[in-house]
């Protein structure tokens, strides 16, 4: 074997090591060598994903050849993720976090040879100094280079005193480009902002709660129906999706009874299925995380408690469209389906209606055989943020208020008590009695969703009774009450 081959660590196991910079992973690559040379699997998606590397979807492979030892390039933070490995020779690598956030300015250095690679997330500055003549390193990136993309780079001077990179070959003796010599010091660097989160349906009950949950977050963009109409294909085509990391779909057609009419059926399928399929296509093409809000109406209510694994069994058109939308979203590699029930937020809703009726002296008849748990939008919004920021495995998660099951009549009685009316003034009827002689969609009688899965991720929803006591009781929609 050559001297260069002797410097390589052969046959060590594939492993990933964390670094001081969040998301930057140093990877040990198994290299197999003999008198002919060596061989390695430079990128192996299945094995590396199992180690915890992001499945970052590389689309371009580049090679940098450097004739002389001491050739130094950087420090460049690029608007894509990058996987770097050495093909021949050795390099000293330096990485500086140039992303907006608490780790801005964190430095990590390491020597790379063919048995070592590194994963560098978007916004982390990287620089390389060759330690041998005829050194070549390769890098996979998950977006195509373009002149426009180069305008999104962030740069740091190689000689920055704050980063204080310990270059093995002093920069005065190294080969540098004049452009790299002129990059700014850390104090003058504008940090690279994270990719944006787009919230659709931002003026609905959940959308308003998401505005509150992300208040002050510059990377979150809110779009009302006027700004992004899910039923209009032009809304999807007019946006540059490369600037986004996630889409939260808080919009839906939710008129349960109207969905049973010919016009409502078409509208429900257009918004809850066709538009969701468009979002799913965009999420796949641009490697976005898609957050989609689901409903207890995807079930028929035959089970006392519904888990995430229960097969769909919707009773009416609204439930059918929500189930179809869930099925579409489930094939997106990066998705969260947040299944909820009995949603209460700011504006027109069941709780506000009961409070209004109580104040006006009305004694409503409220269904007593539909059982579930109310869910306040503040919990849904907090849960969505937890899923996106907590490194939670993708999939479907039930998210409702915690606590004891209740009927709609029980909730109404609690509202009456909260505004000083006798809860006994709430009349109790069956669903069949309530809808007798009226055209209405079928409802699941049991809507309780099991919360164990989301609780194992560290998110514990508030008891719905506590949320109810703190909820402003204003006028609203009448729900299943009269």
Nearest-angstrom CA–CA distance, 247 and 331: 15
Going from N- to C-terminal start, the domains of the chain cover 3-188, 196-470
76 is catalytic: yes
Are the C-beta atoms of residues 291 and 199 closer than 8 Å to each other? no
Secondary element (H or E) of residue 380 = helix 377-389
Q: Which has the closest alpha carbon to 139: 58, 68, 207?
A: 58
CATH entry 2.60.120.10 includes domain 3-188: yes
Rounded to the nearest 5 degrees, what angle is found at the Cα of 169, between the Cα atoms of 167 and 170? 75
**Helix 317-329, helix 275-285: angle, nearest 10:** 10
Nearest-angstrom CA–CA distance, 68 and 176: 11
Query: 137, 139, 297, 336: which is the annotated catalytic residue?
Result: 139
Q: What is the pLDDT along the chain (482 residues), one digit of tens a residue?
A: 444 444 677 778 999 999 999 999 999 999 988 888 889 999 999 999 999 888 888 999 999 999 999 999 999 999 999 999 999 999 999 999 999 999 999 999 999 999 999 999 999 999 999 999 999 999 999 988 877 777 788 999 999 999 999 999 999 999 999 999 999 999 999 999 989 999 999 999 999 999 999 998 889 999 998 999 988 888 998 888 988 999 999 999 999 999 999 999 999 999 999 999 999 999 999 999 999 999 999 999 999 999 999 999 999 999 999 999 999 999 999 999 999 999 999 888 899 999 999 999 999 999 999 999 999 999 999 999 999 999 899 999 999 999 999 999 999 999 999 999 999 999 999 999 999 888 889 999 999 999 999 999 999 999 999 999 888 874 444 444 43
> If DSSP codes are grouped into helix, strand and coil, which group holds residue 78?
coil
Are the C-beta atoms of residues 28 and 116 closer than 8 Å to each other? yes
Residue 219: CB atoms within 10 A of its CB come to 15
Q: Which has the closest alpha carbon to 194: 208, 209, 164, 214?
A: 214
Nearest-angstrom CA–CA distance, 43 and 57: 11
Rounded to the nearest 5 degrees, what angle is found at the Cα of 122, between the Cα atoms of 121 and 125? 85
Please give the span between the terminal C-alpha atoms of the chain, in angstroms, as a whole number.
87
Assigned architecture for domain 196-470: 3-Layer(aba) Sandwich (3.40)
Query: 76, 183, 335, 471: which is the annotated catalytic residue?
Result: 76
**Distance from CA of residue 471 to its chain's centroid?**
28
Nearest-angstrom CA–CA distance, 352 and 358: 10
C-alpha R_g of the chain: 28
Q: What is the pTM of this model?
A: 0.85
């Amino acid at each position: 074997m050559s001297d260069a081959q002797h410097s390589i660590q052969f046959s060590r196991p594939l492993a990933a090591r964390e670094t001081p910079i969040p998301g930057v992973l140093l990877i040990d690559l198994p290299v197999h060598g003999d008198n002919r040379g060596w061989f390695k699997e430079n990128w192996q998606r299945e094995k590396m994903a199992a180690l915890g590397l992001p499945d970052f979807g590389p689309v371009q492979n580049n090679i940098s050849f450097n004739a002389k030892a001491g050739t130094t390039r950087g420090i460049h933070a690029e608007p894509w993720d990058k996987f770097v490995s050495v093909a021949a020779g050795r390099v000293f690598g330096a990485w500086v976090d140039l992303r907006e956030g608490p780790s801005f300015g964190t430095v990590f250095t390491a020597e790379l040879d063919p048995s070592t690679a590194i994963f560098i997330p978007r916004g982390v500055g990287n620089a390389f100094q060759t330690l041998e003549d005829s050194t070549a390193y390769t890098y996979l990136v998950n977006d195509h280079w373009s002149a426009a993309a180069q305008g999104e780079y962030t740069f740091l001077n190689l000689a920055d005193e704050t980063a204080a990179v310990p270059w093995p070959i002093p920069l005065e003796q190294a080969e540098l480009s004049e452009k790299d010599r002129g990059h700014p010091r850390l104090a003058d660097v504008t940090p690279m902002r994270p990719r944006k989160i787009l919230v659709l349906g931002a003026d609905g009950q959940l959308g308003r709660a998401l505005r509150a949950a992300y208040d002050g977050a510059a990377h979150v963009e809110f779009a009302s129906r006027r700004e992004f109409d899910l039923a209009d294909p032009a809304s999807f085509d007019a946006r540059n999706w490369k600037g986004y990391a996630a889409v939260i779909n808080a919009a839906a057609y939710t008129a349960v009874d109207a969905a049973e009419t010919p016009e409502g059926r078409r509208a429900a399928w257009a918004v809850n299925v066709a538009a969701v399929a468009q979002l799913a296509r965009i999420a796949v093409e641009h490697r976005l995380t898609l957050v989609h809000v689901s409903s207890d109406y995807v079930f028929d209510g035959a089970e006392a408690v519904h888990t995430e694994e229960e097969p769909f069994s919707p009773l009416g058109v609204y439930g059918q469209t929500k189930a179809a939308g869930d099925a579409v979203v489930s094939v997106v590699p990066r998705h969260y389906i947040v299944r909820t029930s009995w949603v209460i937020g700011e504006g027109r809703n069941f709780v506000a209606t009961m409070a209004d009726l109580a104040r006006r002296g009305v004694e409503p008849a409220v269904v007593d055989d539909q059982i579930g748990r109310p869910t306040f939008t503040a919990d849904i919004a907090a849960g969505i943020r937890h899923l996106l920021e907590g490194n939670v495995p993708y999939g479907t998660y039930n998210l409702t208020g915690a606590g004891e099951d209740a009927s709609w009549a029980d909730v109404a009685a609690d509202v009456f008590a909260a505004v000083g009316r006798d809860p006994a003034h709430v009349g109790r009827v069956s669903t069949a009695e309530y809808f007798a002689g009226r055209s209405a969609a079928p409802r699941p009688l049991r809507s309780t969703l099991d919360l164990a899965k989301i609780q194992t991720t560290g998110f514990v929803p508030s008891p719905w009774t506590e949320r109810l006591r703190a909820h402003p009781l204003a006028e609203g929609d009448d729900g299943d009450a009269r």
